[in-house]
Structure formats: C-alpha cells, structure tokens
Amino acid sequence: MNSIHSLFVVALGFLAVSGFLGGVPRAEAQGSLLPPGPPGPVMKTLDQIEPRRPISSLPFRISAPGSYYLTADLTGATAQHGIIVEADDVTVDLNGFTLRGITGSSSGIACPLPQRNLRVMNGAISQWGNHGIDAAVAVSSRFERLSVSANGARGLLAGSQAMVDSCEAADNGDNGIQTGHDSIVRNSRASQNRGSGIVVNLGGNVIESTAQGNHVDGMAAEGGSRIAGSISRQNARHGLSGTTNLIVSAFTAQDNAGRGISLGDGAKISGASVAANGDAGIHVERAAQIADCTSRSNAGDGIRTGPSSVVAGSVAQGNQGRGIAAGGGSSVVGCQSVGNSGLGVQVEHTARVRDCTVQANALGGIVVGEASAVRDCSVLDNGGDGIRVSTACLVVGNHCHGNDNVIDSAGIHATGTKNQIRDNSVTSNVRGISLDADGNFVARNLASNNTLNYRRTPNQTMGNVLTELNDLTASEAWANFAF
C-alpha cells in the first residue's frame, strides 16, 4: 500500500514539472554578439573644446575665416602691425588682454583689404605708432567693449556699415573714433584725443555717447547723420559740428570753446540743451528746424539760424549776444528769450514771430525786417524798443510793457511805412507807439502810462486817440485809446 502511494506521488510530481517546462517558450537563435567595428572615441578633441585659434605672439596674420583669441598681453614690433586681417568673417577676441605697441610700430589691428564681417572685442589696444585699429576699408565690421588709447594717430578707424558699441577712445594723436558711411557709434566715449572725439561719415548714427576734452570738435558728422541722447563737453572747438540734413535730438553741449552745435542746411534739432559755450549755443544754416531746445549763458547768440528756418518752443536765456536770431523768411513761434545781452529776437525780412515772451534783453525786444508779422507776443522790460519793424509789417495783439531803458525807446517802433499796427497794448514805455514815417495804418491800440503815448508824423491812417469809453461812437470803430 505504501509503495503504491509513493509511486502515485512521484507520478504527479513528474506531470507538474513537465507541464511547467512545456509552458516556457523555446529560445530562438540570436544575432552575433561581436561589435561591428573597433570602439569609437569617447573624449572630445581639443578643437571641439576650444574651436577658436589662439594668438600668442605678434605679428600675427589671419588669412582664413574663423574665431581667434589672445592668450596673454602681447607687444608689437617696430614697423610692424600687430594683427593683420586678410579674410572675411573673422572674429578677434582680445579676451581681456592688451595689444601694446612700441615706438615706431604700425597699427595694432590692420585690415588692409576690403574684407567683410570683421569683429573685434573685449580688450585694450594701446600705444601703437599709427592707429589702434585701422579697418577703414573693411565693410560691416563690429567693435565691442574695447579701450583704444594713446595711439599715435586715430584710436579706432572703421569703414562703412560698421557698429562701434561700448568702446572708449582716449589720448589718441588724432580722432578718437572715426567711421565710414552708414555706421553706428553707440554707448561709447571719446576723451582727450588730439583730433575730434567721434566722427561719422554720411548717414552715420551716434547714440548715447559722450565726447569730452578733445582738441577739436567733440563730435562731427556728415550729411544725413543722426545724433541722439549724447553729450559733448569741454572740447576745444564745437560740441557738435556737421554738414547738411543732420537730425539731432536730446543732445547736450556744454563748456565747449566754440559753438555748442554748428550745422549746415536742413538741420533738425529737438530737445537740445546747450550752455556756457564760447560762441553761439546753436548755429545752423538755412531751412533748419529747431524745437524745444534750451540755450543758456553762451558767449555768442543763443540760437542763430539761416533763412527759411523755424524756431519753436525754445528758450534762450542769459546769452552774451542775441537770444534768437534768424534769417529772412523764418518763423519764431512759442519761444522765450530772456535776459540776453543783445536783442531778444531778431529776424530778417518776411519773418513770422508769434506767441513769444521776450523780456529783459539789454538792447531791445523783437526786431524784424520788411514784410514781417509780429503777433500775440509779450515784450517786457527790454532795454531798447519792445517791437521794432521797418516797412510793410503787421503788428497785432501784442503786449509791450516797461521798455524804457533807452531815452527814446518805444513799446512799438515803426521806422518805415505801410505798416499795420492794431489791437496792441503798450504800457509804461518811454513812448507807447512811435512812427518815424508817413503812411502807416494804426488802429484799436491801447496806450497807458507811457511818457508819450503816441508819437507820429502827420500823414498816418490812424484812428482817433480817445481818452474815455464815452467818446467811442459807431464812427470811431478804429479808435485808439490813451488812458
């Protein structure tokens, strides 16, 4: 019995094991376990870690595109350039180091051919016998975070379509930074250079930069350039000089030995502040537009323009010459001219002066030439005539008070004929309205407290002078008053 039981248990165990093994799938044939070839490299090459090419000695010639960098401060040699670039698409990273020249050396970096896309950045270039950087014939170059100083000629000389960004040029033997046409100088500074500080050619831009203490002009620009948000101080000639069609905005010119701003035809200047310059604060030629500017304490005129110009919303104060002076056909609108040593506003023939305040100028208020118009101005406490016109002028709606520092000064003074003088108020002047010649039209003016209210020659077209309103009748619509 026991034997039979034991055989039965063994049989069941065998069946169970067989069933389990039968449920396991059979292994299929696999591919080769050998590698297809020798093992590949597992470490990066030196070129992959630092793909740039080192510059460890001078002179160094670059004849292939690529990126190059300094490994240490490097010193040049007599009659040699430091780095010579003869390829397009080159970047030179000074890597925080200095390229230093010696007596008789050439330029620190030279690009003698019209290469494109040169980029130089991050370091100093100093004491080279010629230029710090000479890239005058290069195109579309970029210069960033550089200090160029104490070089024998120009500090940084760039070609057309260049970008100069965050650079400093100091103590160079000629201009500090100079670019070709259609270039930009931005966030840069030029100081104590023996030429001008920053010079841009046709269509250039100078943005948020500073020029100080240079031996010629602080900044100079050719036609069609734009100067914005920049400062020019204590330069030996003008703060900013330029040719035609310049656009200047938010510019400060202070303590320059010449003019603050000196530009040619077609200039547009807005938001400028010029002060304490050795000549005129702002001087521009014909067809200029000057808006919202302030010119104070300059040794010459505050604002001076050529013919066919517009001066609007501007202030001229405390200048040693005239406050505002403009050529024929110009307009002066909404301006203040106060406390100048010459005339407050002087404009030649066919002028338009409107809505201005002209006060306390030593030699008189407003003086205009033939066929001009003066409207709605306040002319107060000037040392000569308040308003002086010549022939065929229109003087309407002005208030002239206290112009009495000269024995024969008048609130309104017409030296010629065919003038229309009407609807003005003249008070507390030596003379109220003074007419030197026959043939003027004078009506509806109010004169009070003048030493002589109306001085005139006999043959005027002039409303009667009344002293009381009760005297006014329908037939006296053109009457003048004295009270």
> Residue 185: which residues within 8 A CB-CB, separation 6 or more?
164, 167, 177, 179, 198, 200, 204, 205, 206, 207, 209
Phi, psi (deg, nearest 5) at residue 94? -70, -15
Q: Distance between CA atoms of 425 and 70, rounded to whole angstroms? A: 76
| Partners of residue 291 on adjacent β-strands | 270, 312
Asked if residue 295 lies in contact with residue 282, where contact means CB atoms within 8 angstroms, the answer is yes
Q: Which pLDDT score is estimated for 12?
A: 37
State how far the Cα of 285 lies from the Cα of 275, in Å rounded to an integer.
Answer: 20
Residue 341 CB burial class (10 angstroms; 0-12, 13-18, ≥19) = middle
pTM of the model: 0.88
* Predicted pLDDT of residue 404: 82
Confidence (pLDDT) at 468? 80
**Element spanning 3, H or E:** helix 2-22
Nearest to residue 366, comparing CAs of 347, 349, 394?
A: 347
Q: Per residue in 31-61, pLDDT tens?
A: 555 556 555 555 555 455 568 999 999 999 9
SS3 readout for 177-237: EECCCCCEEECCEEECCCCCCEEECCCCEEECCEEECCCCCCEEECCCCEEECCEEECCCC
Q: What is the pLDDT along the chain (483 residues), one digit of tens a residue?
A: 444 344 333 333 433 334 433 444 444 445 555 556 555 555 555 455 568 999 999 999 999 999 999 999 999 999 999 999 999 999 999 999 999 999 999 999 999 999 999 999 999 999 999 999 999 999 999 999 999 999 999 999 999 999 999 999 999 999 999 999 999 999 999 999 999 999 999 999 999 999 999 999 999 999 999 999 999 999 999 999 999 999 999 999 999 999 999 999 999 999 999 999 999 999 999 999 999 999 999 999 999 999 999 999 999 999 999 999 999 999 999 999 999 999 999 999 999 999 999 999 999 999 999 999 999 999 999 999 999 999 999 999 999 999 987 778 999 999 999 999 999 999 999 999 999 999 999 999 999 999 999 999 999 999 999 988 776 665 678 999 998
**What pLDDT score does 24 carry?**
41
Cα 255 to Cα 409: distance, rounded to the nearest angstrom: 35
pLDDT at position 83: 98
The pLDDT value given to residue 473: 65
Question: pLDDT of 198-243, one tens digit each?
Answer: 999 999 999 999 999 999 999 999 999 999 999 999 999 999 999 9
Phi and psi, residue 18, nearest 5°: -65, -40
Q: What is the pLDDT of residue 139?
A: 98
Is the previous residue joined to 59 through a cis bond, with omega within 30 degrees of 0? yes
- Dihedral in degrees, nearest 10, Cα atoms 462, 467, 469, 475: -30
